Amino acid sequence: MPTLTNLTTSISNSQINDGYNLNLTATGLCTSPRNASCATFSNSTTGNIINPVRSARLSTKLSKEIKYGRVEVTAKMPAGDWILSSMRLIPANNTYGEWPRSGSIDIMQLRGNDKTYPAGGRDIFTSTLHWGVSRLADRFWKTTRGRQIRHTDFTKGFHTFGIEWTKDYIFTYHNGRTYSVLWVGFLQQSLWNLGQFSNNGTLHPNPWAGSGNNNAPFDQPFYLSLSVQVGATSKIT
């Protein structure tokens, strides 16, 4: 559950804005391989602040991985502006390189905003495969689908969000396999061919060339991550 930083830590309101050095690596609480993700310094001159809201992520990293199979999560989503809930499969090892070369799967991503929010509120969720040769060439837009419910939203009760993943296809579903959301098949062509990765007529090197699999990078073990994020400055897709 998200909490206010000034109520759940010793960091004061003034320190959130200026003069506080937060270093989770030094305290042994850093869970990221990147030190830059776990350390920051609040400075009112530069506008760098400590996040005023803390939120959490639960994951099976280092404890449980999956390569092909079925995953289901039953949950009731939180309501509120600036809240983003996600259920993801993340590569256990960056076999093909940094994201999105090694891929990631959004089983479910949902904003907590009211349904009147122009970009979509808590009455619609999306399922997405992220894959590409670089961050700027993430071909998620080729493999994204949404599901909307009417007369209610996903915060009013419990729903089951699932994924079925094989070497031949990936599909996500809502409240049972009958209600398919996203379907991506790999029998007809590889993701490399689907992506059409060219830049001014120059073809990018294929990071998945040595795999021999049409579904690469989704041919490696992934772990499950459940998160609730609050606030952001980056674009939500």
Q: Where are the beta strands (DSSP E) in 76-230?
A: 83-91, 104-111, 124-130, 144-148, 159-165, 169-174, 180-185, 198-199, 202-203, 222-230
Global pTM? Answer: 0.87
Residue for token pair 């939120």: 55
Query: What would the mean pLDDT of 95-103 be, rounded to a whole number?
Result: 96
Report all structural domains of the chain as residue ranges with CATH numbers, in order of start.
1-53 (no CATH), 55-230 (2.60.120.200)
Query: What would the mean pLDDT of 35-63 be, rounded to a whole number?
Result: 89
Sign of the dihedral through C-alpha 203, 205, 210, 215: negative
User: What is residue 58's predicted lDDT score, i.e. its pLDDT?
Assistant: 92
Average pLDDT, whole number, for the chain?
Answer: 91
Q: What is the distance between the alpha carbons of residues 164 and 141, in angstroms, rounded to a whole number?
A: 20
Residue for token pair 């090892």: 93
In 51-167, alpha helices (H): none
